[in-house]
Amino acid sequence: MTKSAAWIVPGYNSGVSRRVYIDWARGLAVLVMIWAHTMDAWTRAADRHGVAYRDAAVLGGFAAPLFLWLAGLAIVLAATRAAERPDPTAAPAHRSSGRARGVEVACRRGLEIFILAFLFRLQGFIVTPGGSPVTLFRVDVLNIMGPAMVGVGLLWGAGGTVVARVVSCAVAAAAIGMLTPIVRASSLVGALPIWLQWYMRPAGDLTIFTLFPWAGFVFAGGAVGALLAATRHERAERRLHLILGAFGAVLIAFGFYMSGRPSIYRASSFWTSSPTWFAIRVGILMVAVSAVFALSLRVFVAGAVGSAGAQLAVHLLDPRGAGLRLRDLVDSRPAAALGRDPRLCCILCRDVRRNCVKRSAGRRLAHPPAAPDRSNRHRLGGIS
C-alpha cells in the first residue's frame, strides 16, 4: 500500500505507515467493551429481564469478536510488512527469507499475547488475594487470541499466493464455526487433560472463552488482512471495502436464513455454539469495518476543507483558479499532500466561489466603471 493514501499516516514512534480506520475500529471495540462491562456491573437485577437489556447485551457481545477479528487482520498486515522489509540487524549470510520473517513476527506476537494472558492472571491473583491458584489457568480472550494468531501466521507462511492465504484462513474460520457444536458435545474432549478441556468447551467460571468458535474470528480477520495486504493503491482498497461490505451483508442474510432452517446438529444453541450466529457476527464485523473505512474518508475530506484556513477565501475569489479542475490537481499532487493543498477547498466549494463571482458581477453592473479617456491613446504613440 502506498503511503500517499488518504487514510495512511505515519506511526507515532516509527516511520511505519498505519491505516487510520483500523485504529478507529480498535477504538470502537474498546468503547463497546467498556459499555459491556459497565452495563454488566451496574445494572440492577430487576432490570436484567427487559428487551432493552437484552439488546444492550447483544451489542456488548461484539467487543470480543471485533478484538479477535482485528487481531487476525493486523497480524497478517504485520507479517506482510516484515516479509517485504529486510532485517537490517542480521548479517547478509544469516538473513532469512521474507516469508520466514513474516511467520516469525506473527508467531512471536502470538506467543507474547499468550504469555501476557497468564501474567495478567498472576497480577490479579496477587492484587486480590484469597482466590484459588487454579484461577491462574482460567481461559480468557488473550488465551484464545495468542494461539489463534500463531495459527494465522503459520497459514500465512504456508500460502505462497494471496489466494492461497485468503482461502486457507477462510476455510479454517468456517471449519471452526462448523465444528463448534460437535466439539462441545463430543465425548472425546473428556479424555483430554482438564486444562486442555477448558480450551475446547466451557467449564463454568474457569472458561470465559474457548477455541471453538472464538478462534474462528481471528482466522476470519486473517483472510481479510491478506486481501488488504495485497492492495497497492487507494482505488483498489476502496473497491475492496465495497466488496467486503456487500459480502458481509450477504453473510448476515445467509446466517439469518439458515437460523430458521432445521439444525443439522444433534445439540446446538444459537447464542453460544451455532455456526449461523458465528456467520452473522462475521458479516456484521465486515460491514462495520467497511463503514468505518467510509467514515474515515469523509472525515479526511472535512479535515482537508478545514485545514485551508484563511487561504480559502483567496482561492475562492481568485479568478486565475476558475479553470482549476480536480483531475488536474490530483494528477499533479500525491494524495498525502493533497489534503494540505488549499486548492482542494476551492474545488470542493465551487458553488461558494460561483456565488461570490455572481455578487461581484452584480456590483459591477450596479456601479459600472467610468469610460476611459480616449485622449490618452494619442499620448501613447497615436494608437487609434
Query: Which distant-in-sequence residues (6+ apart) come within 8 Å of 151 by Cβ?
Result: 110, 172, 215, 218, 219
pLDDT number for residue 87? 62
Average pLDDT for residues 48-61, to the nearest whole number? 90
CA 233 and chain centroid, separation = 17
How sure is the predictor about 86, in pLDDT bands with cuts at 50, 70 and 90?
low
Pairing between strand 8-10 and 17-19? antiparallel
Average pLDDT, the chain: 79
Average pLDDT for residues 315-341, to the nearest whole number? 43
pLDDT number for residue 304? 45
How sure is the predictor about 46, in pLDDT bands with cuts at 50, 70 and 90?
confident
Length of the chain: 384
pLDDT tens-digit readout, 240-295: 999 999 999 999 999 999 999 999 999 889 999 999 999 999 999 999 999 999 98
Q: Could you tell me the end-to-end alpha-carbon distance of the chain, in angstroms, rounded to an integer?
A: 64
Rounded distance, CA 311 to CA 268, Å? Answer: 63
pLDDT number for residue 297? 79
pTM of the predicted model, to two decimals?
A: 0.75
pLDDT number for residue 6? 47
CA 239 and chain centroid, separation = 15
pLDDT at 94 > cutoff 50: no
Average pLDDT for residues 202-211, to the nearest whole number? 89
Mean pLDDT lowest for which of 52-56, 199-203, 352-356?
Answer: 352-356
pLDDT at 239 > cutoff 50: yes
